[in-house]
Amino acid sequence: MAAATDRVHDDAARRRALLDATTPGRSLAVGRCKVALDTFRNEGNLHDARTLLLDALACSNVHHPTIFRAWISMEEEARSDAAGVRKLFEAWRCSYLGGGLGHDEGGFWCHYIDFELRHGTAASVRSVAERAVAACPRDPAVHAKYAKAELRMGCPDRASAVLLSALDLFAADAKSREWLEREVTTYRDAMGHGSWRRLRGLLPFCRRRPSGLAPGYRLLGIA
| The pLDDT value given to residue 108 | 93
Show the domain range for 35. Answer: 1-78
Domain-embedded: residue 86:
no
| The pLDDT value given to residue 9 | 45
Tens-place pLDDT, residues 130-169: 999 999 999 999 999 999 999 999 999 999 999 999 999 9
| The pLDDT value given to residue 79 | 95
Tens-place pLDDT, residues 8-64: 444 444 444 433 444 445 567 788 889 999 999 999 999 999 999 998 888 877 788
| The pLDDT value given to residue 157 | 96
Work out the pLDDT band at 98, boundaries 50, 70, 90.
Answer: low
- The structural domain count of the chain equals 1
| The pLDDT value given to residue 222 | 38
Domain-embedded: residue 133:
no
Residue type for position 213 = L
Domain-embedded: residue 85:
no
The more confidently predicted of residues 204 and 9 is 9
Over range 117-132, report the average pLDDT: 97
Domain-embedded: residue 72:
yes
